[in-house]
């Protein structure tokens, strides 16, 4: 159950990271995008999201 909870937390963190990357991409300051923030949030968000999904999928519940 702990692994599944960690997977849910990682997935939620990934979703937040991807949303932040999207918001930073859509809101421009002047005519320049903050590429470093977009890439950082996007890459970390994707890693957390897919790691969380994979952890949830691979965790098997045992009846006690």
Q: What pLDDT, in 10s, does the model give residues 24-56?
A: 888 877 556 678 888 899 999 999 999 999 999
The reply to whether 13 falls in a domain is yes
| Boundaries of domain holding 22 | 2-58
The reply to whether 48 falls in a domain is yes
As a whole number, mean pLDDT of residues 13-34 equals 83
The reply to whether 9 falls in a domain is yes
The reply to whether 10 falls in a domain is yes
The reply to whether 29 falls in a domain is yes
Between CA 56 and CA 13 the distance in angstroms is 14
Give the pLDDT score at 53: 94
The reply to whether 64 falls in a domain is no
The reply to whether 53 falls in a domain is yes
pTM: 0.82
SS3 32: strand
Tally the domains of the chain.
1
Q: Give the CA diameter of the chain.
A: 59
């Amino acid at each position: 159950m702990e692994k599944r909870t960690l997977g849910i937390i990682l997935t939620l963190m990934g979703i937040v990271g991807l949303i932040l990357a999207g918001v930073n991409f859509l809101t421009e300051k002047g005519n320049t995008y903050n590429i470093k923030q977009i890439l950082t949030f996007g890459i970390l968000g994707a890693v957390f999201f897919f790691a969380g999904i994979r952890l949830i999928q691979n965790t098997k519940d045992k009846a006690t």
